Amino acid sequence: ARKAREDDAARKAREEVEQRNREEAARQAKAEAERAVREALARKEREEVERQKREEADKEIVLEVRHVGLGGHSVTLQARRGWSMLEVRRATARAVGRPEVLEFGRLVRCGADGSYKSLRDVDRLTCLLPDEGVVLMNARLDEILERSQVQDEDYHEAEARRVQPGSGGASPASAKTAKAAKGKSEGDAERPDTVEVTIRSIHTSAAQSLQVKVAATIGDVKEALANALGRPEVLNVKLLRRNNDSAGYTSLLDDEVCGSTRQFFIMNVDLEPAPGAPLAKSPEDRQVVVRKELPELFPMGAILSTARSTLLREGEGLDSERVLDLEPGQLCAVRGHGAGKRLNVELLPELGQWGWLTAATKSGEVLVVHASEQQLLALRRQQHPPETVMVTVAPATGGGAWVELFVLDSLTFAGLKESLAASLGRPAVLQRGRFVQRKGAASFAGIRDEEFLGDRRDFLYMGTDLTSQR
């Protein structure tokens, strides 16, 4: 009887364990089914959200890109909500025919309170708030008249030359472009190893032509010119490129690749070869610069300055009525070319006064020269009120975060230091900070406080930390 009772108790215990296992298995199966239902619903919701995002990104919108200046220039684009800012810049550049929008332009968001914040190339239009607009800085937005002369390769090259924010002015594509240009494929075997570039003086219109490597940088061109002229001072100045609107020049960094540019400008350097230099010529050969055709020396739209007192006449002929006596330093824009060395010009800065003048005397004396960078800067200030631009300040020694500032383009570097000190909350910037420019792989040259920003927008800095104390 005792054995029967023990067996019965053991059986009941087993049955209870089995019952609990069945109940636990049922609970787990129910929980698994509920989890599967929740995951299915969540997946469906995610798919619906992704579908809505795709539809939103593909939705066509009308986007207005405004220029920060007071001129009121803007461009209206047929865009998509999913466009990145890089796509917006590409469309904007082609809409107005200005590759410099891709090279120098910065898109920023403008809040309802008038504040600015930069937009990265990877940012999309969907990140903008309803009350925010897209504003273009650091490049012009008015449509150029000669759009047919702008080719697709001009846009591609401008985008490749673009300086990334915080780089201090160095283009990341320069080294890659140089390396790619040096490597030649079998299909490129017939391409020439060298090209001819021309360096022209802004002040005297004298010019020298050189043969340089296809992959040459600006520094290579300067070194070749210094050796050919026998003038080492060439290494201490900058080469310039004429802007597309012919209203000024942009300085070039030594590590930039020449690319498709074949004409450069220089100032404050005598292009006459030193005695015994490789380019030293006979007196007869030296007159060839003066005898060059006027359209090549002074193209349409070029800004000139009178080298000495001269006459502005009503007609092309030297016997036409005298309009005005021009003083040295009078600025004018080339509007046409006449016979001989006659130029049709419009006086600046106030437009409306036209006439004819002689570019050079019979003896070869030059009467007009290309306006200097300082004259062009002063003219730009007269014709265009100061406008807000975006500048970046990065540590010269590398590492650390860079700073973006929105300042007037009429500032000096002393004013830029004040803005930087106020933005960071670091008064020490005014005492110990200084802006520099790279001269070599590991050397820098200081920038004077009294210098104006000009066309420069990305700067290197040393002396204090760039982290904010606000």
Structure tokens at 216: 């040459």
In degrees rounded to 5, what are phi and psi of residue 287? -80, -5
pLDDT at residue 289, as a whole number: 38
pLDDT at residue 282, as a whole number: 47
Report the Cα–Cα distance between both ends of the chain, in Å, rounded. Answer: 90
State the pairing for strand pair 133-137/194-201: unpaired
**Per-block average pLDDT, block size 10, for the chain (470 residues)?**
91 92 93 92 89 74 84 84 90 90 90 85 85 86 71 87 75 49 43 78 77 85 88 86 66 80 84 77 41 67 88 89 90 86 87 86 83 78 80 85 89 93 93 86 82 85 88
Burial class of 258 by CB neighbour count within 10 A (0 to 12, 13 to 18, 19+) = buried
pLDDT at residue 172, as a whole number: 54
pLDDT at residue 170, as a whole number: 64
Give pLDDT tens digits for 241-277. 877 554 567 788 887 888 778 888 888 888 888 877 7
In 3D, which of 135, 148, 166 has the Cα closest to residue 73?
135
In 3D, which of 101, 150, 67, 169 has the Cα closest to residue 454?
169
Structure tokens at 406: 């929105």
What does DSSP assign to residue 142? S
> Are 81 and 224 within 8 A, CB to CB?
no
pLDDT at residue 39, as a whole number: 92
Which pTM does this prediction carry? 0.56
State the residue for tokens 């590759």: 99
Residue 242 CA to residue 150 CA, distance in Å, equals 15
pLDDT at residue 441, as a whole number: 66
